[in-house]
Chains A and B, each alone.
Chain A
Amino acid sequence: MGIYAEPRFLPCGDLALSVELGDDINREVNASVLALEYLIRQQALGGVTETVPSYRSLLVYYDPVTVGWDELTKSLRELCREARPEVLPPARTVEIPCCYGGDLGFDLDAAARKIGLPADEMARLHASTDYYVYFVGFTPGLPYMTGMPERLEIPRLDQPRTKTPPGSVSIGGIQCCIYSVESPGGFWVLGRTPLRLYDPSAADPILLRAGDHVRFRMISRAEYDAIAAAVAEGTYTPRVERA
């Protein structure tokens, strides 16, 4: 398990290939994926037009008229050798205020019963650790995260709901995600953040990035409303630290 000795190159049509670096979801493999993407961007690798990181692979779009399969995979194989987590710039830690339970965290009570904890203890535990963002995707700005205390592991909902509001802080299995737009979902909604993970009216519409750390801060309903108002007015600045 873990990182492959040699990367696998999987064709994705005539304009893309997937560089697969490992066989499971772990932070070491993912950091190598992000490092590979970082090096490709930093060196402006010839013919590469776009990259999409995910848990254990990097989708690389390219222009085959500029660079052929053999030449590109040769360059990528060399870059993979240098693609260690150390090449990445310092990670950011982004604070996400979250109001747990009540009508915003409408699954908290049921989820707490399911795993046999008092609801306030479940919320406290959820907000007690740092989370790691493997990648952002599926819908605009949605972070795929792990880092939850093991005690909170929970099977996904038996019946996925058709609509989950944006900002919903949710868990399923060992994963945590924050819905970025209204979408269907099979995760338990523990709370909601007043921050916008995706704001199409902003110059930079995306809050979180692959490789970020996330720290949840428990807030009251009153503070939720105050931050939501500030976000709507464009006067709220998220707290971001660099390691």
Chain B
Amino acid sequence: MPSILIQDAGPQTTVQDLGRRGSLRVGIPPSGPMDRDAFLLANRLVGNADDAAGLECTVIGPRVEFADERWVAVTGAVMPVTLNGAAMPRWAAFEVEAGDVLRMGPAASGVRGYLAVSGGIDTPPALGSRATYPRGQLGGLEGRALRKGDCLPLGPASGGAPAEVHEELIPDYTIEPTVRVVLGPQDDRFTKRGIAALFDAPYEMTPQSDRMGARLRGARIEHTRGHDIISDGVALGGIQVVGDGQPIVLLADRQSTGGYTKIGTVCSFDVGRVAQVKPGQRLRFRQVTVVEAHEFLRAYRRELDGAIPFASP
């Protein structure tokens, strides 16, 4: 069976696809890539369906050996890419042969890097998805992060072609991002001053952040009357504020429900940008209405669909 061999895994490399749908109602998070755009573009570059499984690497990438000819693409965090020691481009598709070794080094900027391989990773799906949920030991390879010596089966490769992402659409992770937020569901539990604090000054990413949530530090967000609510569902990007007045943005492996106030929700198209902010780096929040958010979403999808001009054969 065609496969790739993990010669070195890096600190947290997992198999991900676009995530599970429909399992939040029994407490299982969707998982999937923390930076959906980067993941999806990697798949499109190598001619895969958007939901084909690839690798998500955190801070330091893996070293991977190929057993047959494939097209590959690396996107996301600025991890230097080499093939048999020679530098290779990022955000572009290139071919590899049997025995080739691809390495993704430590991230110079950004946090999560993605590797897509034509044919996709073909580990057995769990609840309709190959996404790894390590806390629940579900999906991916044995429900865990990858280790040295792991062998990942690949689906049949269907050819490929040189392709690259438009240069102006490649994000610069060194700049302080501004992410868009819709107020609610519990913005009525915060004072005017508390809401103003969220949007006025930047917040710093802390090292306690993970795939469940981005824990931020900055101006205190003031409640009107306590931070407990009757537990309710937690949407992707929900900004939970507990007693210390500091925000936590809830991400791909979040708890399905929670008993703390959520002042607002980061828009889906900006969640990936949060996932690329390094500890110590800062980000800003900007308020938008639901109607504006939906317009931004349409524009964002058009932009993503036009991100890879098709190369002539």
Task: Give me the interface of A with B, judged by CB distance under 8 Å.
Answer: 10-16, 18, 20, 24-25, 37, 49-59, 61, 64-65, 68-69, 135-142, 144, 180-181, 198, 200, 205-206, 209-210
Contacts and interface: CB of A to CB of B under 8 A. Distances in A.
B237 interface: yes
Contact of B185 (A12, A56, A141): A12
For A13, A56, A198, A209, the residue with the greatest tally of chain B CB atoms inside 10 Å of its CB is: A13
Contact of A18 (B22, B127, B233): B233
B237 A13 contact: yes
Given A54-B233, A200-B137, A138 B24 contact: no
A201 B240 CA distance: 32
A57 B255 contact: no
B111 interface: no
A174 to B, nearest CB: 13
18 contacts: A10-B185, A11-B184, A12-B235, A12-B262, A16-B236, A20-B232, A37-B25, A55-B232, A58-B233, A64-B294, A69-B290, A135-B257, A136-B26, A137-B255, A138-B231, A198-B27, A205-B28, A206-B26
Contacts of B235: 12-13, 15-16, 18, 59, 61
Interface in B96-126: 126
Given A15-B236, A52-B256, A205 B138 contact: yes
Contacts of B162: none
A187 to B, nearest CB: 13
Nearest to B188: A10
Interface in B243-281: 255-258, 262, 265-269
A168 to B, nearest CB: 16
B10 interface: no
A82 B22 CA distance: 23
Contact of A138 (B183, B256, B293, B298): B256
For A10, A20, A140, the residue with the greatest tally of chain B CB atoms inside 10 Å of its CB is: A140
